């Protein structure tokens, strides 16, 4: 449980603030189809309006969900971590997962498109989208590990000095833009697969691909949330407080 609570919960509470302080609620947002990662700056009222949900009912649901969700698997409390600790966690958890999983997804998608593309015209686009997403995410992780995360660690120790580009805000803006691109590509994958749902005659490889893409989407949401709504704002605030 986070040491900080959003209380009382109001329609003007932002999604990023809410999940940062009550990480267990990420699972409920997943079920409601609410984007709390790239869309973390929007208010709960705006998010509900986008999904056609009644905000008062949703607030009541969120308020009552904590105890039930707490009985399930624990969620990492990103808000309680230091900047370096959180950067390390993102690398060892999300980056490690992606480096192992993305090549597998690319291989399966290509195999299915080649074998079953005649039966479903969407499969070649599905394979191409998976390849594009994998390439973008691989480059994105490299830039975080080589450029941004080392700077974040330096900022936390007060050792950042003379960073090219003038400010940590520049690489953070680039990372946020790349997060939005990954979100758009993942949304397209969901469209091309009917919500990652296999049809009756889908082969086992096809089913494994869809399960893997669904898991990827869920991991991406948690990954981006930890960066956009926790790591980046705190790094910007700390950098601004340090002498030039």
**Residue range 227-244: average pLDDT?**
87
Summarised one tens digit per residue, pLDDT across range 143-164 is 999 999 999 999 888 765 555 4
Say what percent of the chain tops pLDDT 90: 48
Q: Which residues contact 91 (CB under 8 A, 6 or more apart)?
A: 144, 145, 149
pLDDT band at 39 (very low <50, low <70, confident <90, very high): confident
**Pair of tokens at residue 75:** 């969620």
Task: Give pLDDT, residue 93.
Answer: 93
Q: Which residues contact 156 (CB under 8 A, 6 or more apart)?
A: 82, 83, 84, 238
What average pLDDT does the structure give for the chain? 85
3-state secondary structure the chain: CCCCCCCCCCCCCEHHHHHHHCHHHHHHHHHHCCCCCCCCCCEHHHHHHHHCCCHHHHHHHHHHHHHHHHCCCCCCCHHHCCHHHHHHHHHHHHHHHHHHHHHHHHHHHHHHHHHHCCCCCCHHHHHHHHHHHHHHHHHHHHHHHHHHHHHHHHHHHCCCCCCCCCCCHHHHHHHHHHHHHHHHHHHHHHHHCCCCCCCCCCCHHHHHHHHHHHHHHHHHHHHHHHHHHHHHHHHHHHHHHCCC
Highest mean pLDDT among 8-22, 68-82, 143-157: 143-157
Looking at the predicted structure, is the pLDDT value of residue 215 above 80?
A: yes
Task: Give pLDDT, residue 109.
Answer: 95
pLDDT-wise least confident of 64-78, 125-139, 170-184, 201-215: 64-78
pLDDT-wise least confident of 21-25, 124-128, 162-166, 219-223: 162-166
Looking at the predicted structure, is the pLDDT value of residue 63 above 80?
A: no
pTM, two decimal places: 0.74
**Pair of tokens at residue 55:** 């905000």
Summarised one tens digit per residue, pLDDT across range 108-139 is 999 999 998 888 899 999 999 999 999 999 99
Highest mean pLDDT among 5-19, 87-101, 194-208: 87-101
Distance CA 228, CA 233 (A): 7
- Long-range contacts formed by 102-105: CB under 8 A, 24+ apart: 102/133, 102/134, 102/137, 102/138, 103/134, 104/212, 105/130, 105/134, 105/209, 105/212, 105/213, 105/216
Task: Give pLDDT, residue 2.
Answer: 38
Task: Give pLDDT, residue 37.
Answer: 76
Distance CA 183, CA 217 (A): 9
Distance CA 102, CA 193 (A): 17
Task: Give pLDDT, residue 31.
Answer: 73
């Amino acid at each position: 449980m986070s040491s900080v609570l959003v209380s009382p919960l109001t329609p003007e509470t932002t999604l990023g603030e809410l999940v940062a302080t009550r990480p267990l609620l990420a699972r409920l947002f997943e079920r409601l189809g609410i984007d709390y990662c790239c869309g973390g700056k929007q208010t709960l009222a705006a998010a509900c309006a986008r999904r056609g949900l009644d905000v008062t009912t949703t607030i009541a649901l969120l308020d009552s969900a904590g105890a039930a969700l707490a009985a399930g698997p624990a969620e990492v409390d990103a808000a309680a971590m230091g900047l370096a600790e959180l950067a390390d966690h993102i690398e060892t958890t999300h980056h490690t997962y992606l480096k192992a999983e993305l090549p597998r997804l690319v291989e399966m998608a290509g195999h299915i498109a080649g074998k079953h593309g005649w039966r479903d015209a969407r499969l070649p686009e599905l394979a191409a989208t998976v390849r594009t997403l994998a390439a973008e995410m691989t480059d994105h992780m490299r830039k975080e590990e080589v450029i941004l995360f080392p700077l974040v660690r330096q900022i936390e120790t007060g050792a950042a000095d003379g960073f090219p580009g003038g400010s940590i805000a520049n690489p953070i803006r680039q990372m946020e833009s790349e997060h939005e691109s990954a979100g758009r590509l993942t949304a397209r994958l969901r469209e091309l697969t009917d919500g990652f749902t296999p049809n009756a005659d889908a082969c086992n490889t096809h089913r494994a691909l869809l399960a893997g893409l669904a898991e990827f989407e869920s991991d991406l949401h948690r990954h981006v949330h930890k960066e956009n709504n926790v790591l980046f704002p705190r790094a910007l605030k700390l950098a601004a407080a340090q002498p030039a």
